[in-house]
Copies of this chain bind each other. A is one copy, B any other.
Amino acid sequence: MEVVDAIAAAIQTPGVHLLHRTSDWDHNRSVLTVAGEPEAVLAGLFQAVRVAAERIDLRQQRGVHPRLGATDVVPLVPIDGISLDECALLARHLGQRIGDELGLPVYLYEAAATRPDRRNLADVRAGEYERLVEEIHLPQRQPDCGPAAVGPAGAVIVGARPFLIAFNVFLKSSDVAIAKRIARTIRESSGGLRAVKALGLLVDGQAQVSMNLVDFQITPPHLAVAVIEREARLLGVEIDRSELIGLIPQAALLAAAAHALRLPALSSNRVVEMAFQQAIDTGIPDPL
Contact A288 B37 (CB under 8 A): yes
Q: Which label, helix, strand, loop or mixed, suits the secondary structure of the A interface?
A: mixed
A283 within 8 A of B: yes
Contact A247 B275 (CB under 8 A): yes
Decide: A256 near B262, CB < 8 A? Known: A14-B288, A20-B275, A288-B15.
Answer: no
CB-CB under 8 A from A274, the residues of chain B are: 250
Decide: A14 near B244, CB < 8 A? Known: A257-B260, A261-B221.
Answer: no
Q: How many copies does the complex hold?
A: 2
Chain A contacts to B: CB under 8 angstroms: 14-15, 17-20, 35-37, 40, 79-80, 163, 167, 169, 221-222, 225, 229, 239, 241-244, 246-250, 253-254, 256-257, 259-264, 266, 269-277, 279-280, 283, 286-288
Contact B261 A256 (CB under 8 A): yes
Give the CA-CA distance A276 to B248 in the complex, in Å. Answer: 12
Give the CA-CA distance A115 to B262 in the complex, in Å. Answer: 40
- Which residue of the partner chain B has the closest CB to A259? B260
CB-CB under 8 A from A36, the residues of chain B are: 286, 288
CB-CB under 8 A from A257, the residues of chain B are: 222, 253-254, 256-257, 260
Q: List 28 A-B contacts (CB under 8 A).
A: A14-B286, A14-B287, A15-B287, A19-B272, A19-B279, A20-B275, A35-B275, A36-B288, A79-B276, A167-B261, A169-B262, A222-B261, A225-B262, A241-B262, A241-B263, A242-B261, A244-B263, A247-B270, A247-B275, A248-B271, A249-B273, A250-B272, A253-B254, A253-B257, A253-B271, A254-B257, A256-B257, A257-B257
Contact A272 B225 (CB under 8 A): no
Contact A19 B260 (CB under 8 A): no
Contact A250 B225 (CB under 8 A): no
Contact B272 A79 (CB under 8 A): yes
